[in-house]
A and B are shown apart, each in its own frame.
Chain A
Amino acid sequence: MEAVLFFLAAIGATAGAIGVVALRNPFYSVLALVAHLFSLAVLFLLLTSAFVAAAQVVVYAGAVMVLYVFVVAYVGSAHEADLDPVPGQRLFAGLLAFFLFVEISAAVLSSALKALGTHGPDVPAGFGDPAAIGTLLLEKFLVPFEAASILLLIAAVGAIVLAGRRQRAAGPPPRPAEPTTVREEVLTR
């Protein structure tokens, strides 16, 4: 049963990943990535990490993908040119990716990780559930947890500054006398 689920989820994840790369319309690429993320959540559940699977579905497939869909709808699906700017770029990319795959697999599988060929140890019933992860996050990893929240805040402010509407969008803009802040832009809008 576990093997069947694993292979179903693995095929789903691989198909989603190939879809992201191969589909021409960015909107379909986003949808393929959502399918890929759901398959990965199944794999996380098989690895007895329920909280990471739930976070994957809620945060990634829920929130981040909605952001992508909005931006794709805003920007529109511009057509990519079909011909390669560098001759043989796809061939070289394929070759490089093949060797990368062989190299990563060989490096991991032939390493001295003795336990890699097993199912892993038998874990207690609460392994990877929200209580265990929450205890880890708030006791042992409190500083990285807070650093992550500050990083998110900085990223949100940075995105507002980057994507905020400029007053003089066209032409070479004359430099403003003082550096323009978000607040001034909001006030002068």
Chain B
Amino acid sequence: MNISWYIVLSALLFTIGAIGILVRRSPMVILLCLELMLNAGNLALVAFSREVGNAQGQVFALVVMVVAACEVVVGLGLIVAIFRRKLPLDVDDLRELRG
């Protein structure tokens, strides 16, 4: 299978994630769409690693996974904190930094 197919698929998945971030308004779904974009980047990294024949790109993909896990943990913590303060879970209403 041609490597460029993987790259085009990765671009497509990244674009779908970008649409989600632009269109959706629930912060939880926006985090999910962020995951989509990070995973598209992962797919491109692994595809390039296969193309070069060097496994170091896969280590990079693993580091991206770690960063994504951190982002999820902090983001979900923020969502739980917002919910506890009885603020609306809508990124259009949450436009002030002052709590």
By a beta-carbon cutoff of 8 Å, the part of chain A in contact with chain B is 2-3, 6, 10, 13-14, 17-18, 20-21, 26, 29-30, 33, 36-37, 40, 43-44, 46-49, 51-52, 55-56, 59-60, 63-64, 67-68, 71-72, 74-75, 78, 80-81, 85, 89-90, 92-94, 96-98, 100-101, 104-105, 108-109, 113, 115-121, 123, 127-128, 132-133, 136-137, 140-141, 144, 148, 151-152, 154-156, 158-160, 162-163, 165-166, 169-170
Contacts and interface: CB of A to CB of B under 8 A. Distances in A.
Contacts, number: 237
Contact of B18 (A85, A90, A97, A154): A97
Given A97-B22, A119-B2, A152-B70, A108 B11 contact: yes
B94 interface: no
Contacts of A48: 50
Contacts of A60: 39, 65, 68
A30 B32 contact: yes
A156 B73 contact: yes
Interface in B62-99: 62-63, 65-74, 76-81, 83-86, 88-90, 92
